[in-house]
Amino acid sequence: MRLGKMTLGIWIVSTLAFTSMSSLSQVTSDVPAKRADAIVDLGTPEGIRLVQGEWRYRDAQLVDADHHYAGPDLKPTGSASRTHDITPKAGAADFDDSDWAVLDPTTLGARRGPGKVSYAWYRLRLTVPEKLGAFETKGSTAVFEIVVDDYAEIWVNGSLPTVVGSAGGSFPKGFNAPNRVIVGRDLQPGQQITLAVFAANGPLSNPPANYIWVRSATLDFYKPNRVGNAREVMTEIERNDPGMDAIVGRDTKIEKLAEGFTFTEGPVWVRDENGGYLLFSDPNENTIYRWTPDGQVSVYRTKSGYSGVNIGEYFQPGSNGLALDSDGRLTIDEHGNRRITRIEKNGVVTVLAERYEGKRLNSPNDLIYRSNGALYFTDPPFGLPKVYEDPAKELSFSGVFCLSDGKLRLLTTELKGPNGLAFSPDERYLYVDNWDVERKVVMRYEVRPDGSLANGKTFFDMTYVPGDIALDGLKVDRAGNVFVSGPGGVWVLSPDGKHLGTIKGPELPANFAWGGADGRTLYMTARTGLYRIRLSVPGAGFAAESSN
């Protein structure tokens, strides 16, 4: 995204001012600690009786193990090695701990283990009660909070989700810090939950003479919709056509999920065993963040687009567009590095596109995968310090490209500022919008069998709208409606190019992503905040999750 020339200077000043005043103090991997509606103290006999639970304990040991050094593929395929492992492996929900020591909950604070380099397991099976005082648990959300001296990992029903950047939640947050993790949503009385806490003495690099013990352990219950930090905000739905009602319900409201950023962009929804999470960029701050429905915001990747010594010259050096390939690998538009990269499952960075006919790309902006694996992306110069006039700019045009089978092809150069792009549900058409205050258009191209584009036509023209805001992010729903970030908000266009209406919130969105279990939630990255809105039609290409 790029602002018009007239507002560029104002934008830079306001951005710098905001950066100096704002704070990302909300960035954490733990569930936000709100006042609970009911609390069960798992360190008391009364609390344990309420959940029909029983603490069990066992020391864990380091044992010698056979393994292999890393091979050329960076996997354990090299020569044989000797290393260490942990025993027992007690994270599984059905792990048999019947021969473990049963703990009186009042003794959780007792020092256990041999001291120094030592590890231990605490396990607890509990049952959701029907009531906690006057609080009825049906439909509620429960959060397990534990403080272990010194570090803890938390398995919930046999699951320990591993996500890059995790610090807190299920993973050690810090020295003697509280770990908070969702253990159940929409709970039902009688539902059983298994918790396994792996404890470690620390600091690990300087083993202390003390021992492992639990400072506190509680189960916090919340009424439905109280966990997640989402709150309704100012929402205006402009309805120009009755067709808008079939997309946005009359009572629909925008929710704000997080704030305190400089300029949010490039969101993508990532599915996982816990329902999924959202990744999004802050290109100004050179960072990719992760947001989960529990309200957690954490840093997923720093230096997301640039690490050069002259980074101070850039306004948007970081990553912009994000996308997932068919294997779930994250693909990143790196503004400052002027390239597109892919993060492999083993963490290796693969450069997918960096040059066209020997010349460096401008600053890849947005990207999308076609179902056959071809990658389409836009390449305006908005990530360069001096944009169109930057002396480092090597291409004389802003292009739309396709990368397929290792070959990079230039598809069109007719737009000065090609930005957002999306396919129609049947992939017969590619939509591309234009960040150019003198030509605010959405183009529609036919996609040929070989992936090239033909017969580009103006699908919708917003140039008549005054002001220095042009067109940015773009998405399409399963019915073929087109969602465009334009002047004033999210413009909703029918498949035949009719303006059905506009979704307006407190901040202008830069880009969108379909997400949630059914793809009906539109996540919006909008300047300093992250927002979402529930719609009636799911996103194109978004298959609903199985209910199994």
Report the length, in residues, of the chain.
Answer: 548
Give the containing element (helix H, strand E) for 16. helix 5-21
Residues 312 and 197 in one domain: no
pLDDT number for residue 371: 96
Confidence of residue 33 (pLDDT cuts 50, 70, 90): confident
Contact predicate 175/70, CB 8 Å: no
pLDDT number for residue 316: 96
- Mean residue pLDDT of the chain comes to 92
pLDDT number for residue 521: 98
Confidence of residue 544 (pLDDT cuts 50, 70, 90): low
Q: Is residue 542 part of a domain?
A: no
Residues 276 and 147 in one domain: no
Contact predicate 432/421, CB 8 Å: yes
Q: What is the pLDDT of residues 417-432, one digit of tens each?
A: 999 999 999 999 999 9
Question: What domain range includes position 175?
Answer: 38-222
Q: Is residue 355 part of a domain?
A: yes
For residue 204, pLDDT over 70 is answered with: yes
Structure tokens, 37: 């509606």
Share of the chain above pLDDT 90, in %: 86
Residues 187 and 307 in one domain: no
Residues 189 and 238 in one domain: no
For residue 12, pLDDT over 60 is answered with: no
For residue 441, pLDDT over 60 is answered with: yes
Q: Is residue 170 part of a domain?
A: yes
Q: Is residue 233 part of a domain?
A: yes
For residue 540, pLDDT over 50 is answered with: yes
pLDDT number for residue 547: 33
Greatest alpha-carbon pair distance for the chain in Å reads 76
Residues 216 and 234 in one domain: no
Q: Is residue 108 part of a domain?
A: yes
Torsion angles phi and psi, residue 387, rounded to 5: 50, -120
At 12, is the secondary structure helix, strand, or coil? Answer: helix
Confidence of residue 1 (pLDDT cuts 50, 70, 90): low
Contact predicate 383/360, CB 8 Å: no
For residue 467, pLDDT over 50 is answered with: yes
For residue 448, pLDDT over 50 is answered with: yes
Q: Is residue 548 part of a domain?
A: no
Counting Cβ atoms within 10 Å, is residue 219 exposed (0-12), middle (13-18) or buried (19+)?
buried
Residues 129 and 69 in one domain: yes
Residues 20 and 61 in one domain: no
pLDDT number for residue 28: 59
Last residue of a domain, one of 222, 237, 267: 222
Half-sphere exposure of 237 (CA within 13 A, CB side): 20
For residue 25, pLDDT over 80 is answered with: no
* SS3 labels along 212-253: EEEEEEEEEEECCCCCCCCEECCCEEEECCHHHHHCCCCCCC
Counting Cβ atoms within 10 Å, is residue 64 exposed (0-12), middle (13-18) or buried (19+)?
exposed
Q: Is residue 200 part of a domain?
A: yes
**Amino acid identity of 375?**
L
**Higher pLDDT pick, 73 / 218:** 218
Round to whole Å and give the CA distance between 366 and 335: 10
Residues 445 and 410 in one domain: yes
For residue 148, pLDDT over 50 is answered with: yes
Across 216-244, average pLDDT: 94
Last residue of a domain, one of 175, 207, 222: 222
Domain containing 100 — which CATH number?
2.60.120.260
Residue with tokens 């790196």: 334
Residues 216 and 332 in one domain: no
Confidence of residue 22 (pLDDT cuts 50, 70, 90): very low
How big is the CA angle at 189 (ends 90 and 198), to the nearest 5 degrees? Answer: 20
Domain containing 15 — which CATH number?
2.120.10.30
Round to whole Å and give the CA distance between 348 and 38: 45
Task: State how many domains the chain has.
Answer: 2
Counting Cβ atoms within 10 Å, is residue 410 exposed (0-12), middle (13-18) or buried (19+)?
middle
For residue 475, pLDDT over 50 is answered with: yes
Residues 333 and 348 in one domain: yes
Torsion angles phi and psi, residue 406, rounded to 5: 80, 0
Q: Indicate the pairing of strand 441-447 with strand 429-434.
A: antiparallel
- Residue 427 pairs in a beta bridge with none
pLDDT number for residue 367: 98
For residue 60, pLDDT over 80 is answered with: yes
Q: Indicate the pairing of strand 255-259 with strand 101-103.
A: unpaired
pLDDT number for residue 527: 96
Last residue of a domain, one of 174, 190, 222: 222
Q: Is residue 146 part of a domain?
A: yes
Residues 232 and 218 in one domain: no
Residues 199 and 300 in one domain: no
| pTM greater than 0.85 | yes
Structure tokens, 266: 């490039």
pLDDT number for residue 167: 78
Contact predicate 219/142, CB 8 Å: yes
